[in-house]
Amino acid sequence: MNVLRPTFNRLTHARLPLYSAKSARFMIATRPVHSEPDRAALSEFQNTHGRDYNAPKPRSSAFRTVYKVFIVAGLAGGIYGATQLYIMRSTWPTELRKDLRAAVKAKHNGDNELAEAHFRKALATAEEKFSDAELDVLKRTGIWIALAALLPRSKAYEALDAAQAYMQKYASSHDFTVQERLRYLVIALRLAELAGKSEDEERWGVAAVEETTRVLNLLKEHTKGTDVLNIPTDEELRLPRWVQTTDFAVPYERLGAFYASQGRVDYAVPLYLQTLEILGPSPVSEDKCRTALVMNNLADALVSEQPSPQRLVQGIQWVHQGLSICKTAREALLMDGRSETCEQTYAALLFNAGRIAEMQGSKQKAAAYYGAARTQSQSARYLEGVRKANEALSRV
């Protein structure tokens, strides 16, 4: 299951003066599926904002926190969670069926070593005996996904990297269906998670964003009734039932968090804004909390690393908007029980309101927000939040 772990300082849904969700959108959908990150596009954005990311990274702000709030990425979770069921229920060639079922059985019995051996044997048989026409992309990569789920981090990365290499080769002579594009972007997301090097995390994060943009553009064109589609049939355009529109925000959100963690704020901000545009206003309280969390993270990015007074104003605007959205969602959720994500996000927003007030020189206001953050963290049994709030209160 793909889980996003953004820091406790970031936000969305008003359009701030400096960054417009339309003008600063990170749209790089015209590149090939198998390309490297678009350095030209990133350089253009960099030049617009006057920042050189080849220069040494500035030190992190002393006010940064390490709070963690978790978001389940349904887009990725759906594929990984459904793989075993897919293998069991799909019709497979006789030459593969025995090993695949033996692998699933071994995994169920806790014998991952035996399961790995059967999955690898099935992959070898598929490579040796079946062409792309005889064994489709989803089935072939499904075996790699199932195998990767058994393996330690580095070996799982190697397995999924092999799956993507196959898909890239396939894409050089075929047009992906929407389902195949979903498979590509989800594997790219997982590779970004597993990457041991920051350059690999960036490469796969960008690949996932690019593929997501292509899928959204295809679906948008389809709903307009246009004929300019690479994918010809309604069946091929149909999304799996487990895919929700808001799931497409995940790649932008994750890449934004990556750039924010690297101090590359001018790259992170438009990605967070795009995330918010995809999420949109939602009547679902859990979705509202997710929106508030992205607003929190956006605010964090804006006010990190010696922000200008203008950035501080923007940051507090996002925090206040996030607090308003989160408060509404929490009130609605009281009838159904608390949401851990909402409660922790609310604490994070309160803390960051205090953080920005402190940076603006208003210690009295900062202390009030830090106190509220501590109370909220205590109520949510959020020990890290309590610790951070106590540290801040001792400082102001």
Both tokens assigned to 152: 């330690």
What pTM was estimated for this model as a whole? 0.75
Q: pLDDT tens across 301-313, in order?
A: 999 888 999 999 9
Going by C-alpha positions, the residue among 319, 311, 315, 396 that lies closest to residue 361 is 396
Distance of CA 368 to the CA centre of its chain: 33
Residue 253 CA to residue 3 CA, distance in Å, equals: 11
Q: What is the mean pLDDT of the chain?
A: 78
Contact 245, 64 (CB under 8 A): no
pLDDT at 205: 96
Contact 290, 12 (CB under 8 A): no
Q: pLDDT tens across 325-346, in order?
A: 999 999 988 877 778 889 999 9
Lowest model confidence (mean pLDDT) among 140-144, 173-177, 220-224, 279-283: 220-224
pLDDT at 337: 73
Contact 26, 209 (CB under 8 A): yes
Residue 385 CA to residue 187 CA, distance in Å, equals: 33
Q: pLDDT tens across 3-26, in order?
A: 333 344 433 333 222 222 332 222
Q: pLDDT tens across 198-207, in order?
A: 999 999 999 9
Both tokens assigned to 356: 């920005």
pLDDT at 305: 81
Both tokens assigned to 179: 């389902």
pLDDT at 274: 95
Going by C-alpha positions, the residue among 355, 358, 277 that lies closest to residue 14 is 277
Contact 208, 192 (CB under 8 A): yes
Q: Where are the domains of the chain?
A: 2-93+130-281
